[in-house]
Chains A and B, each alone.
Chain A
Amino acid sequence: MNGFFDLPSDLQHSYFGLIGLHLREALLPVLAGLLLSLPVAQLCARFRWLYPPVLGVTTVLYAIPSLAFFVILIDYTGQSEMTVMIPLAVYSLVVLVPAIVDGVRSVPPETLAAAEAMGLGAVRRYLQVQLPIAVPAIIAGLRVATVSSISLVSVGMLIGNQGALGNMLNDANLYHRPELAVNSVVTTAVLAILVDAALVLTRNLLTPWMPKKGAAR
């Protein structure tokens, strides 16, 4: 395990620099996906006829392999971080929209009626009643989206060293230093597990009324 953290200079980053880069490339798209999917899901929950076509379009987008998606975007955004982040944002959208729609729909009608009777308008009812009740479903979606996003950033290596921690994989091959590949895989996996744990913690903090049982997601 000699030289485990000695990174070749062509990576142009320290070990922690790569971690920061990786987190940025993985998490910003999920955030963008969340911000986009909240209004989309709200529209889908309100106008039921909208949901099947939206689901169809997103499923088709999800079917585009990440590598192909990256490569096609090079023509428009160059070999940049943007090229990696746009597909990841699209993939998170695909996971998040159904999660949020299911979550918002799972609010019992009696609860909504009670909120209305208490004089809550549509906006406050959405923000103060529907959204908090949907938190477990939304976080479940976020967990899947974030973890797969962290894993997929590595593929960005193939389009000209835009894969953050994944860039170590190419160097491992190039310089015959397998420990770099081990480092890349282990660090990526640990990052994913830590972010996942942070999301579980967030859910527990946001939903103090929920029983503390681990639902399989």
Chain B
Amino acid sequence: MNVLDFAHSFFADPARWHGYDGVPTRLLEHVGYSLEALAIAALIALPVGLIAGHLRRGGNALSMVATAGRALPSFGLLVLLFIWFGFGTLPVMVPLVVLAVPPILVTTYEAIQTVDPSPVDAARGMGMTEPRILFQVELPVALPVILGGLRTAAVQIVSTATIAAYVSFGGLGRYIIDGLYQKDYEKVVGGATLVAGLALVTLVVFWALSKLTVSPGVRRSG
């Protein structure tokens, strides 16, 4: 039996599709954790990146924060917080947020900072206030790159949220971890397929989002 056979027998089993360990439940849990983590990370990283990028300063500090954030191992953090604080949302959310903040922070800063200065100066010359310059000139131009950072963060969250299952949390990681311990390979492959599929859906969502929100004038190739 190869991976495809395992996946097929996993998805063909009608028992997989309902109950507390059914695919819809686990999928919803996974999407829930991921969205929550992405929202928290964006709330932290977007304002900081936007303001620092607009002021065009703090790049060194931000890159240091980002490096430190990347250096913290998500899985280690998860286990450590679980040992310290026990079962709860905190041990799952903190590693995911720490994982997602660096890409959002750095790309937002870089995107705003590298906006062509001539339209910004023109807007300033026309008497636009600084917040309006940020939101009406710099943000629309930088949006494709900022969305790229959010996309990277979202994909990493979706694929990393699987490890939450190690500390008895739900989500699609349950299939992978339980399957590993039960030597139920079908379950492992099914779980892996679902997470990879969800990550792909995330990519598609962001692609659609950029089609909807990026003004045609600033759309770049590639």
CB within 8 A of B76: which of A52, A148, A178, A184? A184
Complex Cα distance, B176 from A72, in Å, reads 10
Q: Which residue of A lies closest to B193 (CB)?
A: A68
Which residues between 149 and 182 of chain A lie within 8 Å of chain B, taking CB atoms?
A: 150-152, 154-155, 157-159, 163, 165-166, 169-170, 172-173, 178, 181-182
Q: CB-defined interface of A41-76 with B at 8 Å, one 1/0 digit per residue?
A: 000000000011001000110111111110110010
A71 and B180 within 8 A (CB): yes
Q: How many angstroms between the C-alpha atoms of A122 and B192 in the bound complex?
A: 44
Distance in angstroms between the alpha carbons of A178 and B84 in the assembled complex: 7
Interface residue range, chain A: 35 or more
**Which residues of chain A come closer than 8 Å to B196, judged between CB atoms?**
63-65, 68
Select from chain B the residue with minimum beta-carbon distance to A55: B222
List of B residues within 8 angstroms of A71 by Cβ: 176, 179-180, 188-189, 192
Secondary structure at chain B's binding surface: helix, strand, loop or mixed? helix
Whether B176 pairs with A181 at a CB distance below 8 angstroms is no
Query: Is B77 on the interface with A (CB-CB < 8 A)?
Result: yes
Q: Is the interface of A mostly helix, strand, loop or mixed?
A: helix
Name the one of A64, A216, A217 contacting B192, with C-beta atoms under 8 angstroms: A64
Shortest CB distance A57–B (Å) = 12
Give 1 or 0 for each of B96-114: 1 = CB within 8 Å of chain A CB: 0000000000100110010
In the complex the two chains form, is A192's CB within 8 Å of B163's CB? no
**Residue of A64, A144, A181 touching B199 (CB-CB under 8 A):** A64
Chain A residue numbers with a CB within 8 Å of B71 are 147, 150-151, 188-190, 192-193, 196
Is the CB of B60 closer than 8 A to any CB of chain A? Answer: yes
Chain B CB within 8 A of A208 CB = no
**Residue B37 lies at the interface, judged by CB distance under 8 Å to chain A:** no
Closest CB in chain B relative to A49 CB, distance in Å:
12
Bound together, the chains give a CA A152 to CA B60 distance in angstroms of 25
Stretch binding the partner chain, chosen from B14-22, B38-46, B62-70, B208-216: B62-70
Taking the nearest CB of chain A, how far is it from the CB of B102, in angstroms?
9
Q: A140: shortest Cβ distance to chain B, in Å?
A: 10
Give 13 A-B contacts (CB < 8 Å), ordered by A residue. Answer: A60-B200, A64-B192, A64-B195, A64-B199, A67-B177, A151-B71, A151-B75, A172-B79, A172-B80, A184-B73, A184-B79, A189-B68, A216-B66
Closest 6 A/B residue pairs (Cβ): A68-B192, A63-B199, A65-B159, A192-B71, A185-B76, A216-B63
